[in-house]
Amino acid sequence: MDEVVAAAAAVDWSKLAERALCDSCLGRLFGKVGHGHTNEERGRSVRDLAEIRIGPCWICDGLTGRYDDLADLVARRLEPWEFDTFRIGSKVDPEIAAREESLWTHLGLTGPEPLKAEVNREVGKRVSERIRKEPDVARPDIVAVLDTAFDHVDLQVNPLYLRGRYRKLARGVPQTRWPCRRCMGKGCARCGGTGKMYPTSVEEVIAAEVMRETGGTGHALHGMGREDVDARMLGRGRPFILEVKEPRRRRVDRVAAVDRINASGIVEVDGLMPSDGGAVVALKEDRAAKSYRVVMRTTPIVPEAKLKGALLVLVPEPIAQRTPGRVVHRRADTTRARRLLAAEVVGVDGDRAEIRVTAEAGTYIKEWVHGDGGRTRPSLSERLGVACEVLELDVLDIHDGG
């Protein structure tokens, strides 16, 4: 405490005039001096030295004496929520901030602490004792924002993130809920009142089971890319993170949720693991190569040997791919350079051929097969000199190293 006393001794207290300060507000003038003391203790130790009048505090008007009550208020507000970590934020009357800042300048102080910081810490300490949970400044589950002027608490409940890999076993299922184009989700004749283009989605199947465990006001599914609606997603599945907004409960029976998801017959996951918001950014940036199974019809029929020869030639050739005709109405018309990493014939049966292709992230495989009216060059169709129609497309693997 010697440093605090020394700092206080250097202040010309007569400049404070007749203003009264409480112990906390007095001590907080040296709040960043020394360690291991509360501001109230700092204030008590320099009060005699400063000869400051006792009375209604000129800075806080009694706020620092209400930390226990405010902590009770916050703890009650947190009661219905399940969480492990929290942080207190606060809104302090701007007039208080103005008063204390003017005093710092007036007295020429070098290490004062703002009241807001003290409120966050002192109320946080008391709330932590009451609810037996740890404050976490960096990544709290819940932030309780205390408005000290109105004794009002707003909660920001941070999302719950769960990661996994999904397999999509059925065609005609989008990755995320797809609102009806005509009614934009309200429900109309075209969508049979569902408001959706497709009855369900990977997101809806997974989220339904997780929401049952967690409650929450909404959800979002973040995928490492997405496959076409009519393509299955097989193999080890596609990495995803499910975000549950404002979950009531965070202790999820993940095994039970996975069992119910897998019983859908539409989507399968191997497991769900806790994740965080930062991982969503990394997931979205991943540029993993992907392997596909393609079943196509060639017109006229192409012998297997010719198909094999064409793939051998095409694998090393750089592909120039203009934005596909099917999406150019909603994306910029640009040309991207992509490469195949491998391609092989699985089998040929009359006009049907099955091939496996591994390509760089972002390659439009259907377009590479049929050529997209010359927008993708070279293409398998162009190389063979026949029309190629894609009948089935499946993603077999995502080479993300995970």
Residues catalogued as catalytic: 228
Closest approach of Zn ion to the CB of residue 43, in Å: 9
Stretch that binds Zn ion, among 51-59, 89-97, 270-278, 323-331 (CB under 5 A): 51-59
User: Considering only residues 61-80, where is the footprint of Zn ion by CB under 5 A?
Assistant: 64
What are the tokens at 340? 């195949």
Stretch that binds Zn ion, among 16-24, 38-46, 47-55, 225-233 (CB under 5 A): 16-24
Complex with Zn ion: residue 27 or 159, whichever CB lies closer: 27
Closest approach of Zn ion to the CB of residue 100, in Å: 9
- The one-character DSSP state at 54 is P
Complex with Zn ion: residue 25 or 390, whichever CB lies closer: 25
Complex with Zn ion: residue 8 or 283, whichever CB lies closer: 8
164: CB partners within 8 A, 6+ apart: 237, 239, 240, 242, 258, 269, 270, 271, 272, 273
Strands 376-377 and 319-322: antiparallel
Q: How far apart are CA 11 and CA 50, in angstroms?
A: 8
- Tell me which of 7, 70, 191, 319 binds Zn ion, using CB under 5 A: 191
Binding of residue 183 to Zn ion (CB under 5 A): yes
Residue matched to tokens 């007749």: 18
User: Considering only residues 142-181, where is the footprint of Zn ion by CB under 5 A?
Assistant: 180
Residue matched to tokens 């095409």: 314
Among 147, 159, 158, which Cα is nearest to 74's?
Answer: 147
Q: How many residues bind Zn ion (CB under 5 A)?
A: 12
Binding of residue 188 to Zn ion (CB under 5 A): yes
Q: How far is CA 58 from the centre of its chain?
A: 44
Calculate the dihedral angle through the C-alpha atoms of 237, 238, 243, 247, rounding to the nearest 10 degrees.
0
With b for 16 or more beta-carbon neighbours within 10 A and e for fewer, the 244-280 pattern comes to bebbbebebebeebbebbbebebbbbeebeebeeeeb
Binding of residue 25 to Zn ion (CB under 5 A): yes
- Tell me which of 4, 8, 16, 22 binds Zn ion, using CB under 5 A: 22
Closest approach of Zn ion to the CB of residue 194, in Å: 7
Closest approach of Zn ion to the CB of residue 64, in Å: 5
Complex with Zn ion: residue 20 or 345, whichever CB lies closer: 20
Judged by the rule CB under 5 A, the positions of this chain that interact with Zn ion are: 22, 25, 57, 59-60, 64, 180, 182-183, 188, 190-191
